[in-house]
A and B are shown apart, each in its own frame.
Chain A
Amino acid sequence: MSALIRKIRQYEGWFGAGAGVCIASGLYLGLVTSPPDYYQGEVVRIMYVHVPFAKTALLAYAVLFIGSLWYLWRRDPVVDNMCHAAAGIGAFFTVGGLITGSIWAKPTWNTWWTWDARLTSFAVLLFILIGYLMLRNFIDDAEKRARYAAVFAIVGFVDLPIVYFSVEWWRTLHQPLSVSVRGLSIAPGMLVPLILMSIGFSLLFTYMLMVRTQMLYLQRLLEAKRGRLLSIYVQAE
């Protein structure tokens, strides 16, 4: 078994437990004790799930980008499994971020969707991830598939700073960053659950990445074992 997989198996529980504690306390503070917003009222509570989903989607793509560079440098198949896992999880969180954002937009902007710079660039991120996953499905040769997918992910990384800074670069309907170099524009009662949920989701993403990487690695290992078994039978006949 790969040394990286052994390490993942050794430490994954800590990340899972950490994520559980942070998310449970974040949910308690966010849904039970934090105050409603003066203008938005109760719907501000969607922030505690929408922002972590969106941030985790960006984190997933950042991991995919770094993993792709790492793969092109070392050509380690386990790193390719990790990139594949990050893309799948990233697509899940991107869809979650878009749906929760849309639900939040209806009571605050009175529309489910608008072609705003932040929303559009975030939707583009989803299409890049879907493209990445489709590319992996179309190529049969494992080495070629990993290489082309890594190059695709590196090129697609250009969208990430656009998503992040879109609220600064253009005048958009989406609110600007609540935590930036200019300071805080959020009440402390809301900041604590938001931070807890963000940390919890980052830990959860790391845990999910560890689990999914193992899953993809084991699927590959099993295929290789069965392939070898088949080749032995063919040789015997």
Chain B
Amino acid sequence: MKNLYIRWVGILLGGIIIVLLSMWRYYQEVMTIPPEQLLREQPARTVRVQGTVKAGSLMKGKTGGVTFHLIGEKEGIEVRYAGEAPDNVRELSSLVVVGSWDPSTREFTAHQISLRPNYGFVVAAYVISFVPLSLFLFRMERSVALLYNEVKQETVYKEEWQGE
């Protein structure tokens, strides 16, 4: 039984490491901020901003690229994207712009436009599959360990032998 618990502590630690690494990647590459937070914090680094393209604000630039107003719940920001706009850049569409904020021009220069992350579904799928799987396997292993002990402790053959 001791070996079983030691093994499962190891499995748990391995699981925690993978969860921490996934969370680190999430904060680095997936997590977004709303336009309100961008305006409040004015970060100098590259950020991911999630919002909705305001109706009537999407315009094609003369030298290529697009500009649009990305709105959050209360405030919005002007976004300039230099490359060929992907299909998902439409009015009223919800998207994520990756780039940097220039406080002097109050314009956000995006170098990438990506889909709105729906990471909650990923978390739900992994939690729903791995938690029951671990419990199912742990209960089976524990049950086998207990059964081996019980079988060893049963003295039926001994008594039967003595009886004869």
Whether the pair B140, A208 counts as a contact (CB closer than 8 A) is yes
**Chain B 10-41 interface 0/1 with A at a Cβ cutoff of 8 Å (1 = within):** 01001000100110110000100000000000
The distance in angstroms between the C-alpha atoms of A46 and B129, with both chains bound, is 10
Q: B118: which A residues are within 8 A, CB to CB?
A: 41-43, 107
Q: Closest B residue to A228 by CB, please name it.
A: B156
> Which of B11, B128, B159 has a CB less than 8 Å from the CB of A103?
B128
- Name the B residues within 8 Å of A27 (CB-CB): 18
Enumerate A85-109 residues with CB–CB distance to B below 8 Å. Answer: 92, 96, 99-100, 103-104, 106-107
B117 touches A24 (CB 8 A): no
Residues facing B in A199-225 (CB within 8 A) are 208, 211-212, 214-215, 218-219, 221-222, 225
Inter-subunit contact B147/A219 (CB<8 Å)? yes
Within 8 A of A (CB), among B112-158: 114-119, 121-122, 124-126, 128-130, 132-133, 136-137, 140-141, 143-144, 147-148, 150-151, 154, 156-157
The interface residues of chain A lying within 8 Å CB-to-CB of B150 are 218, 222
CB contacts under 8 Å to B, within A25-55, are 27-28, 31-32, 36, 39-43, 45-46, 49-50, 53
- Identify which of B119, B129, B130, B137 contacts A42 (C-beta below 8 A): B119
State which size class the interface on B falls in: 35 or more
A171 beta carbon closer than 8 Å to chain B: no
Is there an interface contact between A107 and B129, defined as CB atoms closer than 8 Å? no
A75 within 8 A of B: no
Whether A20 is near chain B, meaning CB under 8 Å from some CB there, is yes
Q: Given A215-B144, A218-B144, A219-B147, check contact A50 B125 (CB 8 Å).
A: yes
B160 near A232: Cβ-Cβ < 8 Å:
yes
Question: Are A41 and B11 neighbours in the complex by a CB distance under 8 Å?
Answer: no
Determine the main DSSP class of A at the interface with B. Answer: helix
Question: In this complex, what residue of A is CB-closest to B115?
Answer: A41
Cβ of B163 under 8 Å from chain A: yes
List the B residue with the shortest CB-CB distance to A227: B156
- For the complex, give the distance between the alpha carbons of A129 and B39 in Å: 57
- In angstroms, Cα B24 to Cα A36, docked, is 16
Contacts of A42 in B (CB 8 A): 30, 117-119, 122
A41 to B88, CA, bound (A): 12
Note all chain B residues with C-beta closer than 8 A to A28. Answer: 18, 21
Which of B121, B148, B159, B160 has the most chain A CB atoms inside 10 A of its CB? Answer: B121
B163: chain A residues at CB < 8 Å are 232, 236
With A and B bound together, what is the CA distance between A41 and B26 in angstroms?
A: 13
Distance in angstroms from B33 CB to nearest chain A CB is: 17
Query: A229 interface residue, CB < 8 Å from B?
Result: yes
Give bound CA distance, A219 to B136, whole Å: 17
Given contacts A103-B124, A232-B160, contact A211 B148 (CB under 8 A): no
Contact between chains at A221 and B151 (CB < 8 Å):
yes
CA distance A1 to B114 in the complex (A): 60
* Pairs of residues from A and B, 10 with the lowest C-beta to C-beta distance, nearest first: A218-B147, A41-B115, A229-B156, A31-B22, A46-B125, A103-B125, A225-B156, A100-B125, A45-B122, A225-B154
Interface residues, chain A, with chain B CB atoms under 8 Å away: 20, 24, 27-28, 31-32, 36, 39-43, 45-46, 49-50, 53, 92, 96, 99-100, 103-104, 106-107, 208, 211-212, 214-215, 218-219, 221-222, 225-226, 228-229, 232, 236
